Structure 1
Amino acid sequence: MQSNFLSNFEKPRLFGFVVTLMMMFMSSTAQSQEIVLTQENELPEKYQTLINPFWDNQVQKGQFSGEQGVKIHTAWIVHPQSKGSIVLSSGRTEGSVKYKEVIYDLYQNGNSVFTLDHRGQGQSGRMTENPDKGHVEDYSFFVADLQQFITQTVLPNSQSKPNLLCHSMGCAVGALYLISHPDTFQKVVFSSPMFGINAPIPQWLAKGILGTQNFFNNVFGSEPWYFPGQGDKQTEPFAGNGVTHSEVRYQQSEVVFEELGIALGGITGGWLKASMWAMNKVAEQAEKIKIPALLLQSGGDTIVANEAQDVVCNSMPDCQLINIPDAKHELLMEQDQYRNPAMTHILQFFEE
């Protein structure tokens, strides 16, 4: 008579089969969740064989007319099996071409990515006759440009509420956007945010200089003047730079800007005045940023003030701060020992 129960021989075989299936499933799941990032030792070859072709052939580029008719350059790519959308707001002097590796890595980990070159830098239009001058009259223009980009390009190509990734000056822009448009994004990451500047002079003295310069600039100047001590773009050697420990990423950034002729010089008095207003507003109204926020702080930053980051993060209802010890300002362009954990934190935070 046949038994309705498994024989002593069949049970171990079935158990082993089930265990094998479970292990295969767990391994497959782990692999699907594994974060893959470009490493420095492979970057020179990978740029030529993978990243540049990806940028040239897959990433879409465009432009639109922003506030006051300024041309705004854009770049984006929609992942066919997108986990979500990430909008990138870059820092001062930067542009989309500097973030080829970052956008490639975000895409390889399953994300659609959208970015724009902020007015006055990158491949976007300038507001001064001298294209080297880093200038903006009001951060409300940055915010309006970002809103137009989100409405026209990001939302129509996103299946869910997007996330926001900002760096340095782009964090001030992003924070102001979140204050005035609190429901657009799901989460935000601030990378080395410019919520305060490590200036060689105190703010009260900078304000005094700005007031005096603004008076004479209006009387004698036809366009905005550089802030005292600032000037046109000069080639700076890697040695002694304040932004990254990674020579290969530093040189790659320099090359791409020189090739396109879009390198930026120093700041105008107008840029500094607008930036001081923006940083003060972010500090005063940070509690209005209610979405989950992750602030990645560069432990060795000499460009922006980490103390100001502490204050702003503490004012947000849902902000966690992670310090990357000894890292310089450009976390997303740093050596692997700093960049890998920063990128991992970003990807994991957006996927949680």
Structure 2
Amino acid sequence: MADAELFAHPDYPMPGHGRVWFASTRDGASLRLASWRPTVKTVRGTILLVQGRAEFIERYGETVAELRRRGFHVLTFDWRGQGGSQRFVRRERKGHIGWLRHYEADLALALAQMRERLPGPYFTLAHSMGAALCLDAARHDALPVSRLVALAPMLDLAIIENPKAASRLANVLFWLGFGKAFVPGGGDTAIATKPFEGNRLTNDPDRYARNSALSAAARHLSIGDPTIAWVRTAFHLMARLAAPNAAREVRVPTLVIAAGRDRVVSTPAIERFAARLKTGQALILREARHEILMESDLIREQFWAAFDAFIPGEDAQLVAGSAGSAGEQRQRGLMQRLVGGGEDTPAPGGAAPVP
């Protein structure tokens, strides 16, 4: 397990003045967490930044800095089994998790730490696997935040040709005792260190090279391919969110942002889910690949415009059905333009009002 400090990479330094610590979940797993204060005087609340599979805190230095400049405290953490948090397999490069309840305990710990240590209002910005876990938590009043931005949520896997067969196989292999084995053909190589050409993650060669160098230098934080148990857990989570009423049960106002060129998770599945949200908006960034926060400047600018319109601070809440201030109307108009037209394709149902 890593020390209670951030890895220092000479070409990609983390924002300064952060705090790093370990805390234990209710089932005894030790997680690494980090937080930063805003770099401006006007404090707008706290963002919980939730990562996807195979990621770690240091990959998000650029995003942390941008959130701090917007007036937010930022808290983020490493899921168990990756980054600097505790691992539960002897071969630590395996991307392993035993049961879905383990991830739920990790998220509950991070939320409790945020509310104990940092000021509200509280918001969540989550990616991929983390976004799916947050959407599921928001169905059960287990995500006590004002708003959620879910980036490329893992609702179905585009990377697998026959998901139903893969799910059945993973379940059989798990119960035969192969849960901690790599998926067939899997190995220790981190996805971020594979060649840029043909990568599924980003169009931006510079950010890809930066993250690749970081993953190669911080091998103790990186992981390779997932285990059978991780795949089984992922299918369990996706099945929950595929239930007919799942989207309608999400109780947190949510902005879902999908990548039009995603070859990791299914963008059509995200569109279908977003269309059923009672308290949601949807935006498709047509040219983006899976890692929207690691994308080209143009794509990231589109993301930040939507984020800024959707995540106000304490003094600028959007209220559906109310005319609101001139600033609120401008924010609502920007969201409608982003979701309803321009360069991006809306999910079915268009731009729903946000309560």
**Contiguous gaps of at least 5 residues in structure 2:** 1-8, 313-317, 319-355
Task: Give how far 1:343 is off.
Answer: 2.0
Task: Give how far 1:214 is off.
Answer: 2.5
- The one-letter code matched in structure 2 to 1:227 is V
- The one-letter code matched in structure 1 to 2:102 is F
Task: Give how far 1:263 is off.
Answer: 1.6
Q: Indicate the residue corresponding to 1:348 in structure 2.
A: 309
Contact 1:283 1:311 (C-alpha < 8 Å) held by counterparts: no
Task: Give how far 1:215 is off.
Answer: 4.2
Contact 2:89 2:180 (C-alpha < 8 Å) held by counterparts: yes
* Aligned 1:300-319 pairs, distance under 5 A: 300-319=261-280
Task: Give how far 1:48 is off.
Answer: 6.4
Match among 128, 131, 134 for residue 174 of structure 1: 134
Match among 254, 257, 260 for residue 293 of structure 1: 254
Return 129-138 or 278-287, whichever deviates more.
278-287
Find the aligned partners of 1:246 and 1:186 in 2 and give their Cα distance. 32
* Aligned 1:55-70 pairs, distance under 5 A: 55=15, 57-70=16-29
Match among 174, 191, 195 for residue 155 of structure 2: 195
Partner SS for 2:242: helix
Contact 2:180 2:229 (C-alpha < 8 Å) held by counterparts: yes
Find the aligned partners of 1:270 and 1:228 in 2 and give their Cα distance. 12
Q: Indicate the residue corresponding to 2:216 in structure 1.
A: 258
- The one-letter code matched in structure 2 to 1:241 is N
1:225 aligns with 2:181: yes
Contact 1:78 1:157 (C-alpha < 8 Å) held by counterparts: no
Q: Which has the larger radius of gyration?
A: 1
- The one-letter code matched in structure 2 to 1:78 is R
1:328 aligns with 2:328: no
Q: Indicate the residue corresponding to 1:132 in structure 2.
A: 93
Q: Which has the higher helix share?
A: 1
1:236 aligns with 2:197: no
Find the aligned partners of 2:144 and 2:259 in 1 and give their Cα distance. 27
Find the aligned partners of 1:77 and 1:102 in 2 and give their Cα distance. 12
Find the aligned partners of 2:90 and 2:217 in 1 and give their Cα distance. 21
Find the aligned partners of 1:277 and 1:124 in 2 and give their Cα distance. 23
Find the aligned partners of 1:335 and 1:99 in 2 and give their Cα distance. 15
Task: Give how far 1:168 is off.
Answer: 0.5
- The one-letter code matched in structure 2 to 1:350 is I
CA offsets per residue over residues 122-178 of structure 1, 9 Å max, x none? Answer: 111111111111111222211222212222x31133332301111001111111221
Task: Give how far 1:183 is off.
Answer: 6.2
Find the aligned partners of 1:245 and 1:86 in 2 and give their Cα distance. 26
Find the aligned partners of 2:164 and 2:147 in 1 and give their Cα distance. 35
Contact 2:111 2:143 (C-alpha < 8 Å) held by counterparts: no
- The one-letter code matched in structure 1 to 2:187 is G
- The one-letter code matched in structure 2 to 1:246 is D
Backbone CA RMSD of aligned residues: 2.0
Contact 1:192 1:298 (C-alpha < 8 Å) held by counterparts: yes
Q: Indicate the residue corresponding to 2:84 in structure 1.
A: 123
Partner SS for 1:297: strand
Task: Give how far 1:190 is off.
Answer: 0.6
Number of aligned residue pairs: give it: 298
Find the aligned partners of 1:307 and 1:233 in 2 and give their Cα distance. 29
CA offsets per residue over residues 41-96 of structure 1, 9 Å max, x none? Answer: xxxxxx969x72x62x3111111122542220111112253111110111110011
Find the aligned partners of 2:235 and 2:288 in 1 and give their Cα distance. 25
Partner SS for 1:180: coil
Q: Percent identity among equivalent residues?
A: 24
Contact 1:192 1:297 (C-alpha < 8 Å) held by counterparts: yes
Find the aligned partners of 2:69 and 2:241 in 1 and give their Cα distance. 33
Match among 117, 132, 150 for residue 157 of structure 1: 117
- The one-letter code matched in structure 2 to 1:165 is L
* Aligned 1:136-147 pairs, distance under 5 A: 136-147=97-108
- The one-letter code matched in structure 2 to 1:245 is N
Find the aligned partners of 2:203 and 2:73 in 1 and give their Cα distance. 28
Partner SS for 1:115: strand
Find the aligned partners of 1:117 and 1:126 in 2 and give their Cα distance. 11
Contact 1:238 1:247 (C-alpha < 8 Å) held by counterparts: yes
Q: Indicate the residue corresponding to 1:71 in structure 2.
A: 30
Find the aligned partners of 2:173 and 2:151 in 1 and give their Cα distance. 32
Partner SS for 1:254: helix
Contact 2:99 2:233 (C-alpha < 8 Å) held by counterparts: yes
TM-score (norm 1): 0.79
Partner SS for 1:213: helix
**Contiguous gaps of at least 5 residues in structure 1:** 1-46
Q: Structure 1 48/280 Cα, relative in aligned 2: closer, same or farther at 3 Å?
A: same
